[in-house]
Structure 1
Amino acid sequence: MNGACACGVIFLGTGAGMPSKQRNVTSIALNLLDERGFYWLFDCGEGTQQQILHSPVKLGRTEKLFITHLHGDHIYGIPGMLTSRSYLGGDTPLTVYGPPGIKSFIETALSVSDAHLTYQLHIVEIADEGVICEDETFRVETARLEHRVECFGYRIIEKDQPGKLQLDKLAELKVPAGPIYGKLKQGQDVVLEDGRTLHGADFVGSPIPGRIVTILGDTKYCKGSLQLAQHADVLVHEATFAMSKQELAYAFDHATSVDAARTAQEMGAKTLIMTHISSRYQGDDTDLLLQEAMAIHADSHIAKDFWSFDIPKKS
């Protein structure tokens, strides 16, 4: 867990509402597969592209941008990020997902500023809860949260991987290495030269479970956050205020550190990382938020700008 880690969750901005000297406004990068070489961004507050310059994130290798809601501290960095991606040689398609209105915001900003992108930009406005994108490796689900404007949280699910080929069993049977191993790994049946038939399922271990990362937008304690957080390996949850400011938090549809910890604990999330911290909590003041959360959910952390959390593959 450090600022140099390139695989896992990377926090580019962890403040709430407006930037402070210690925290920029919200943006998070996710990279679960180094070999894939792509980054996904979640929210893009003002100054995100500047924050990226001080991180391992490669803007030209950004593949998707997920927007939780349309408040300025989550979207004002989008036009600059999109145009800079062109200047940095980004030529692969980029897809933006977000609530209704995100398309109008982006297209207006690019049109008024006469911006010309060197890549295909796709904008998907989320019409309903459920699966919004899926490929051979990941599935992303979304649910509505409770905030002053329409707001979504995202659940990133890595699909289970095939189990490991049991080489010791094959060695005992004197099965020659080569293409046969590849076929067995894929679960196929193989007939050897000596007439023996090997069934792939007999030589492959149990599937390796994929990782689950839940990244929530601004929200108070609600059904949607509980749904998305269930059994997550990492839950990223806002904690704008300490418990002593609960009335203020609820008045503006935000969460306290206790709300975040309750969500993690009740839904069996492994690691809780709190972000979107009010500027009233500076320096050691954030220890209060952490102590409140850890009293409920021991594996809790407070994110800070450029801090990262590695999420190793399961075995």
Structure 2
Amino acid sequence: MQITFLGTSSGVPTRSRNVSSIALRLPQRAEVWLFDCGEGTQHQLLRSDVKISQIRRIFVTHMHGDHIFGLMGLLASCGLAANPEKIDIYGPPGLNAYLQACRKYSQTHFSYPIEVHTVQPGLVVEEEDFSVSCAVLEHRVTAFGYRIQERDRVGHFDVKKAAALGIPSGPLYGKLKRGGTVTLPNGQVVRGADLCGPTEVGRKIAYCTDTIYCENAVELAQDADVVVHESTFAHQDAELAYQRLHSTSTMAAQVALNASARQLFLSHFSPRYAVGSPIQLKDLLAEARAIFPQTELAHDFLTYEVPRRSLTASEIAPAIVGG
């Protein structure tokens, strides 16, 4: 799982930052899932290593222009160049009507199917290896944050050890890999857990923008490997944050801290903190790190590989006792 930041500015683009969009690459599926699609996102994709032809799902947080104005252009380009089998789009009420109006008045006809799903709090997508859920954030319009969760995976299967036990390759290997138990012809009982390494914990990502600090953001970010959270304002400009229902650097850090997250990326920065301003982005970073040290500033085209981890002894023990 790789996250590529395609736009990290709020409201309007700047010389170095486009408006909101991130791409989540799933190499094992050769798929890209896009989160928000501000104006110019397709240009950002062309400048990145992300393949437009692999986009299969697009998740929209809310209907403000800096999060959706690039959507229609991208969809039209996909039809002309990438020609995907299908793209599923998820977002708040009004998203489908917006796209239908764009298609009507621009006389755009797609050569591939598009399905728009109006989301409600809770589960949005559930598949064998991934799930996506959402929750309502606190903004001036209906806005959703998203949580992407990968299923846990059985650890590495020791083929040599299985062969030494006289287990023939084939269906029995599959059963053992899934954690099952088999009885050999000699009566020996072999558990899959004895032949597999530590369980690989499914990775979790939270995407929270636009919002002021809220408990739903903390819930989405709970135990997440990566939290991408808006940080429109510095702590010194908290009054503006409250007025506009956006987060400060310290609010984003507090979400990550309260959620016991592992890594926080700040994004969606106000252009007011440009080079030469009294307050700059390095100051926002320092504010956040004072609360949550594992914080980084996102920038356009930054790519981050979400690390895997195995269950620790303390995590395994409760599972054994409970079983």
Q: TM-score, normalised by structure 2?
A: 0.90
**1:8 corresponds to which letter in structure 2?**
Q
The one-letter amino acid of 1:45's match is G
Of 261, 264, 269, the match for 1:272: 264
1:28 to 2, 22, 29: 22
* Alpha-carbon separation, structure 2, partners of 1:280 and 1:269: 28
Counterpart check, 1:226 vs 2:218? yes
Equivalence for 1:59: 52
Matched with 1:302 is 297
User: Could you tell me how far apart the structure 2 residues matched to 1:19 and 1:115 are?
Assistant: 26
Question: How far apart are the structure 1 equivalents of 2:20 and 2:261?
Answer: 22
Distance 1:223 1:179, change over 3 A: closer
SS of the residue corresponding to residue 272 of structure 2 reads: coil
Count of matched residue pairs = 307
Equivalent of residue 150 in structure 1, options 129, 142, 154? 142
2:4 aligned with 1:10, yes or no? yes
Which ranges of 4 or more aligned residues in structure 1 deviate by more than 6 Å? none
Match for residue 78 of structure 1? 71
Instruction: Between 191-200 and 305-314, report the one with greater CA deviation.
Output: 191-200
Instruction: Measure, in 2, the Cα distance between the counterparts of 1:313 and 1:30.
Output: 15
Letter in 1 for 2:211: T
2:317 matched to which residue of 1?
Answer: none
Could you report, residue by residue, the CA deviation over 1:215-254 in whole angstroms, capped at 9, with x for unpaired residues? 0120001111111111110000000010110001110000
**What is the correspondence of 1:1-315 to structure 2 with a 5 Å cutoff?**
7-31=1-25, 33-126=26-119, 128-167=120-159, 169-177=161-169, 179-192=171-184, 196-283=188-275, 285-315=280-310
Which sections of structure 2, spanning at least 5 residues, go unmatched? 311-323
Mapped partners of 1:228, 1:291: distance in 2: 24
The DSSP-based 3-state class of the residue aligned with 2:79 is helix
8 A contact 2:154–2:179 mirrored in 1: no
Deviates further, 81-90 or 250-259: 81-90
CA contact (8 A) 1:60 1:86 kept: no
Give 1:288 deviation, angstroms.
0.5
The Cα offsets for residues 236-289 of structure 1, whole Å up to 9 and x where unpaired, read as 000001011000111000000010111111110110000000001124821011
Quick check: 1:59–1:90 contact (8 Å CA) kept in 2? Answer: no
Shift of 1:172: 4.5
| Structure 1 spans left out of the alignment, 5+ residues | 1-6
Deviates more, 1:277-286 or 1:184-193: 184-193
219-228 or 195-204, which moves further after superposition? 195-204
Higher relative contact order (CA 8 A, sep 6+): 1
CA-to-partner distance for each residue in 1:5-39, whole Å, 9 max, x for gaps?
xx5110101001011112111111111x3121110
Query: Tell me, what secondary structure is at the counterpart of 2:67?
Result: helix
AA paired with 1:26?
A: S
Alpha-carbon contact 1:26-1:74 (below 8 Å) kept:
yes
Aligned partner of 1:153: which letter?
G
Could you say what secondary structure the match of 1:295 adopts? helix
Two-structure CA RMSD over aligned residues (Å): 1.8
Q: Is the 8 A contact 1:139 1:158 kept in 2?
A: yes
Give per-residue Cα distances to partners, 1:58-89, cap 9 Å, x unaligned: 11210110000000100000110000001113
**1:174, distance to aligned residue in structure 2 (A):** 4.2
Letter in 2 for 1:297: F
Q: TM-score scaled by structure 1?
A: 0.92
Distance 1:189 1:270, change over 3 A: closer
